[in-house]
Chain A
Amino acid sequence: MYRYDEFDHDFVKARVAEFTDQVNRRLAGEITEDQFRPLRLMNGVYLQLHAYMLRIAIPYGTLNPRQLRMLAHIARTYDKGYGHFTTRQNLQFNWPALSDVPAILSDLASVEMHCIQTSGNCIRNVTADHFAGAAADEVADPRPYAEILRQWSSVHPEFSFLPRKFKIAVTGAERDRAAIQTHDIGLHLKKNEKGELGFAVYVGGGQGRTPMVAKKIRDFLPEKDLLSYTTAVLRVYNLNGRRDNKYKARIKILVHETGVDEFARQVEAEWADLKDTELALPQADIRAIEAYFAPPQLPDRPEDDDRIKQARLDSRSFGEWLDQNVVTHRHPDYAAVTISLKGIGETPGDASAEQMEAVAGIAEDYAFNEIRVSHEQNLILPHVARADLRAVYDRLVEIGLATANSNLITDIIACPGLDYCALANARSISVAQDISRRFASLERQREIGELKLKISGCINACGHHHVGHIGILGVEKKGAELYQVTLGGSGDENTSIGEIIGRGFGPDEITDAIETIVQTYLAVRNGGDEKFLDTYRRVGPAPFKEALYGSEARAA
């Protein structure tokens, strides 16, 4: 992974010193809250319901064990012993005191981490496929390009005060695991017919109150043009994006209102002046960054088959975990492991300090010191020898992280919701917990098959409900929580926005409603192999409406 150079260290250290001074001045009453608020947000400090919240950037979701141990240390020393991994591949602490934030930032800097640009109207943490560098279907590792974008966008003078926040995601495979079409810019790393690397560029995707699927404005952008073209997109947005209405300020609205063809024309015109400037990336620079992400030397470990077969026979639960949470690796003797942070009835994305330390230890012993955070709020060990899978599983069992539910109905994305978030209108964690308990049976989950259920506690859609196969949006109606259900959303290479199925459900009704939807799917699916999303796309909303609302649906 990328290692800070001297400049990076000095920059982050200077930023910690600057913010420490700002915090001290705020605590001393020398600056007002109005003056301080934008400063703290630039450093990832929010004020939530119960306390401050600190959002820590995890660039493209990549961590080493030292960093994860530091997060555990911070959780234990300054917070309440746990952290919350988010849909932005970041980590949030829910309880830090403002007066402790300088010390936390200093600790983070010691392991090459920070909180810069985790809030504000700037370019946020660049996200990437969590299987990057390991996936069998990958053209190339997207993370070097994410790192180039990170360096370029960090305190970028022109793009630090955009009309609204700006999110970029990169994937290096046809199978999109980074949800690039729901980002302001989505980059699909691919090869052209000559075998050269470049990107399909998508612009104007996003969720929130106006969900939109990104539009492709370029089918192939040579890799050397990454920064010049991205700059052109940002320039057109920065100049023309609406600043009069924060709800219409994202680039998706600009692209929509301008029209994709005209928007692309404006970008191309801007790019014509930029492409041959100093923003053109020299091959040597790309390859130098790429070297930081060189895959670990993976010695052949062909002894796996018999050992795994025996382990399957010894333990049914190991076999289930193997089937559900382990995926193929580009090296046949290895696998990528999903560590589910979705234990039955638990809070999606939460991990205790002890669990973080244990995962760090497993990564050191069995996974070449690499850990990833997925946007689905799980942890990933990208490189594990198949022969070591049983040992890894046993270690995960010890710390309660061996739940075999990856991509199943209990692998739920949920935002913090009204239990923590100052913006939320309804709880999402409690709904996730109820649904998780209802569908606790792994046998039943596997009968249902792949089903991505995503829950947001407000229209800002941090829980990605718009692209859930089943999406749940919590709203407040007449002082009570109400949950709207959407069906048919998807955040992959065939991204779609879910359709609202009908009137909402109260907190005591929503789990039953999900049960009804699942039962309906099982009744109408075309054989056991047809996934929920495929069934929905085939049959549409009618049978689900009928099952949920009966005569009410027919009357409508």
Chain B
Amino acid sequence: MKVLTANRLTDGEAVWYSDTNGWQDVIQGSTLAEDKTGEERLDAIGKAAFAQNLVTDVDLIDVNVVDGAIVPQRLRERIRAAGPTNRLDHGKQARAA
């Protein structure tokens, strides 16, 4: 499974794409691509958003769904989704607390 991620142009904030909310600040609730067709669709959305200068550094990343939560496979993406592990008061994790 994959989700679409990027950084918002204006502030560089890590964002994920949701069919419901558009580019959102949290990974949970982002749209899952469960097959090739879904990936191609998200890829097209990402390219369009990049071309519209909404986001930059667009990427489709591998995720698993664990107990209903979206969990990126790579540590890099888990840190992007949560925040730096040395500063739990920063990043998305700080807002969730």
Query: Nearest CB to that of B84 among chain A residues?
Result: A419
* Partner among B10, B52, B53, B75 whose Cβ is within 8 Å of the Cβ of A480: B75
Per the bound structure, the CA–CA distance linking A98 and B85 in Å amounts to 24
B11 near A97 with CB under 8 A, answer yes
Per the bound structure, the CA–CA distance linking A33 and B91 in Å amounts to 24
Per the bound structure, the CA–CA distance linking A548 and B90 in Å amounts to 37
* Partner among A95, A97, A99, A479 whose Cβ is within 8 Å of the Cβ of B90: A95
A49 at the interface (CB under 8 A from B): yes
- Within A398-443, the residues touching B (CB, 8 Å) are 418-420, 422, 424, 426-427, 429-430, 433
B38 at the interface (CB under 8 A from A): no
A479 near B86 with CB under 8 A, answer no
Question: B9: which A residues are within 8 A, CB to CB?
Answer: 26-27, 33, 98
Knowing A479-B73, A481-B75 are in contact, say whether A50-B12 is a contact too (CB < 8 A): yes
Q: How far, in Å, is A102 (CB) from chain B's closest CB? A: 13
Number of interface residues, chain A, beta carbon within 8 A: 32
B41 at the interface (CB under 8 A from A): no
A29 near B11 with CB under 8 A, answer no
Knowing A27-B9, A97-B11 are in contact, say whether A50-B86 is a contact too (CB < 8 A): no
A29 near B53 with CB under 8 A, answer yes
Per the bound structure, the CA–CA distance linking A52 and B14 in Å amounts to 10
B83 near A418 with CB under 8 A, answer no
A97 near B10 with CB under 8 A, answer yes
Per the bound structure, the CA–CA distance linking A422 and B74 in Å amounts to 13
Q: How far, in Å, is B8 (CB) from chain A's closest CB? A: 9
A418 near B86 with CB under 8 A, answer no
A347 at the interface (CB under 8 A from B): yes
Per the bound structure, the CA–CA distance linking A33 and B76 in Å amounts to 23
Per the bound structure, the CA–CA distance linking A430 and B83 in Å amounts to 13
Query: Nearest CB to that of B56 among chain A residues?
Result: A33
A99 near B10 with CB under 8 A, answer yes
Q: How far, in Å, is A32 (CB) from chain B's closest CB? A: 8
A97 near B84 with CB under 8 A, answer no
Per the bound structure, the CA–CA distance linking A422 and B84 in Å amounts to 12
Q: How far, in Å, is A352 (CB) from chain B's closest CB? A: 11
A52 near B73 with CB under 8 A, answer no
Q: How far, in Å, is B7 (CB) from chain A's closest CB? A: 6
A522 at the interface (CB under 8 A from B): no
Per the bound structure, the CA–CA distance linking A32 and B55 in Å amounts to 11
Question: B12: which A residues are within 8 A, CB to CB?
Answer: 47-48, 50-52, 96-98
A80 at the interface (CB under 8 A from B): yes
Interface bits B72-97 vs A (CB < 8 Å: 1, else 0): 01111001100111110011000000
Knowing A33-B50, A419-B86, A427-B85 are in contact, say whether A49-B10 is a contact too (CB < 8 A): no
Question: B11: which A residues are within 8 A, CB to CB?
Answer: 51-52, 97-99
Interface bits B9-23 vs A (CB < 8 Å: 1, else 0): 111111000000000
A418 near B79 with CB under 8 A, answer yes
- Within A428-485, the residues touching B (CB, 8 Å) are 429-430, 433, 476, 479-481
B57 at the interface (CB under 8 A from A): yes
Q: How far, in Å, is B71 (CB) from chain A's closest CB? A: 12
A49 near B85 with CB under 8 A, answer no
Question: A420: which B residues are within 8 A, CB to CB?
Answer: 84
Q: How far, in Å, is A313 (CB) from chain B's closest CB? A: 38
Interface bits A477-506 vs B (CB < 8 Å: 1, else 0): 001110000000000000000000000000
Q: How far, in Å, is B13 (CB) from chain A's closest CB? A: 6
A429 near B10 with CB under 8 A, answer no
Per the bound structure, the CA–CA distance linking A32 and B57 in Å amounts to 12
* Partner among A52, A99, A430 whose Cβ is within 8 Å of the Cβ of B85: A430
Per the bound structure, the CA–CA distance linking A29 and B12 in Å amounts to 15
Interface bits A89-107 vs B (CB < 8 Å: 1, else 0): 0000001111100000000
Residue in B9, B12, B14, B52 with the greatest tally of chain A CB atoms within 10 Å = B12
Q: How far, in Å, is A199 (CB) from chain B's closest CB? A: 40
Question: A429: which B residues are within 8 A, CB to CB?
Answer: 84-86
Q: How far, in Å, is A47 (CB) from chain B's closest CB? A: 6
A50 near B80 with CB under 8 A, answer yes
Question: B73: which A residues are within 8 A, CB to CB?
Answer: 479
Question: B76: which A residues are within 8 A, CB to CB?
Answer: 49, 418, 424
B83 near A50 with CB under 8 A, answer yes
B7 near A80 with CB under 8 A, answer no
Question: A96: which B residues are within 8 A, CB to CB?
Answer: 12
Residue in A80, A96, A419 with the greatest tally of chain B CB atoms within 10 Å = A419
- Within A13-32, the residues touching B (CB, 8 Å) are 26-27, 29, 32
Per the bound structure, the CA–CA distance linking A47 and B83 in Å amounts to 15
Interface bits A43-62 vs B (CB < 8 Å: 1, else 0): 00001111110000000000
A49 near B75 with CB under 8 A, answer no
B10 near A47 with CB under 8 A, answer no
Question: A481: which B residues are within 8 A, CB to CB?
Answer: 75
Per the bound structure, the CA–CA distance linking A479 and B7 in Å amounts to 23
Q: How far, in Å, is B88 (CB) from chain A's closest CB? A: 11
Q: How far, in Å, is A462 (CB) from chain B's closest CB? A: 16
Q: List 9 A-B contacts (CB under 8 A).
A: A33-B53, A48-B12, A52-B11, A95-B90, A419-B86, A419-B87, A427-B85, A429-B86, A476-B75
Instruction: State the 9 A-B residue pairs at the shortest beta-carbon distance, nearest first.
Output: A97-B11, A419-B84, A52-B12, A51-B12, A29-B53, A429-B86, A49-B80, A33-B56, A347-B86
Binding site for A on B (CB under 8 A): 7, 9-14, 50, 52-53, 56-57, 73-76, 79-80, 83-87, 90-91
13 more A-B contacts (CB under 8 A) besides A98-B12, A418-B76? A26-B9, A26-B53, A51-B7, A52-B12, A96-B12, A97-B10, A418-B75, A418-B79, A419-B84, A419-B85, A427-B75, A427-B79, A429-B84
